[in-house]
Amino acid sequence: MRSLFMRLLKLIGHIAIILILTIITQIGGIIWLLTIIISYKIKKGKRIVFPLLYLLFNLVIIPPIATHFGREKLPWFDKHLKPRNWFYPLAFRNYVNSNLKSELENSAHVLSSSGIAITYLDANFPFIDGFPLLPHLSHNDGKKIDLSFMYLDHNGISTSNKPSISGYGVYANTDKNYTSKSCIDKGNWQYDFTKYLTLGTIHKLKLDKPKTALIIKQLLSAPSTQKLFIEPHLKQSLGLGHESKIRFHGCKAVRHDDHIHYQIK
C-alpha cells in the first residue's frame, strides 16, 4: 500500500513538473518527459540528463524546427540586440517571425550609431499560434515583443543597465500615471501586477527620455509596424503625442511605463 502511494506521489510530481515547464517554456514539459525515459534506459540520474537534454533542444534541435513554423530565435550575445538576461532565451521566449526579426535587427543597426542597444524581454514561443505565453495576453503569434526603455545612471549618464533583473516592474514617472490609478480604481487589480515580477531591483536609474524616444521613433518608422503600447503619460512626456500608432492598451492588460510593447502587421 505504501509503495503504491509513493508511486502515485511520484506520478503527480512528474505531471506537475511537466505542466509548470510547459507553461513557462512550452518545450520544457516534453524535455522532462524524454528525460524520464532516457534516464530509465541509461540508468543515469535526471539531474544529469535533464540539463544536457534541455541545452541540446534549446541550442540545436528547436531553432531549425521553429523556422519551418515561421519563427526564428533572437540572438543571445549580439551587442546591439540582446536579451535583458539569459532567462528569456533559455526559456524559449525569444522567438519571433522573420519579419519582426528583420525589423529589430535593422533598428538595432540604425540605433547603434546613437549608442543604443535594443534590449528585449518576452517575445513568443517557438511554435503554435494561439499558444499563450503567460502572463501576456497576446504574445502568441510571433508578431509581438517587449522591449526595455533606456535609462540614466545617478550621474545623469546614459547606461545600458536596467533597474530590475527581469526588466519589468520598475515604473517610470509613476507619479504622473493617472491612467494606472483610474484602471485600478475600476477593479482591474492586475494592472500593476508587474511590480511583483522584478526578481529584484538592482539599479536606481531614471528614464532616458531622448534615447527611449529614439527607439520608439525608429520602430514606428518601419512600414510593417502595426502598433506600439506605452502609457499615455509617457507618450506625452517623450514628445510623441502626434504618433497615431502609439496606442493605449486598455485597463484589462498591465501597465506599460516599465517597458515597450511592439508589434507588426
Q: Write out the E strands in the chain.
A: 72-73, 81-83, 95-96, 118-120, 144-147, 151-152, 158-159, 206-207, 225-229, 246-247, 260-264
Angle, CA of 34, 38 and 42, to the nearest 5°: 175
Which of these ranges, 39-53, 74-88, 107-121, 141-155, has the smallest mean pLDDT?
A: 39-53
Q: Give the tens place of pLDDT for each residue, 9-21.
A: 888 988 999 999 9
Average pLDDT on 199-218 reads 95
> Model confidence at 243, in pLDDT bands (50, 70, 90)?
confident
- Rounded to two decimals, the pTM is 0.92
- List every span in the chain annotated with CATH 3.30.1380.10: 72-264
- Which residue matches cell numbers 490609478? 181
Q: Give the tens place of pLDDT for each residue, 163-190.
A: 999 999 999 976 767 788 889 989 999 9
Dist. CA 87–CA 167, nearest whole Å: 11
pLDDT at position 9: 83
Question: In one letter, which amino acid is 215?
Answer: I
Kindly indicate whether the domain formed by 72-264 is annotated with CATH number 3.40.50.720: no
pLDDT at position 25: 98
> Model confidence at 1, in pLDDT bands (50, 70, 90)?
low
pLDDT at position 11: 86
Crossing angle for the helix pair 98-112 and 209-220, to the nearest 10 degrees: 140
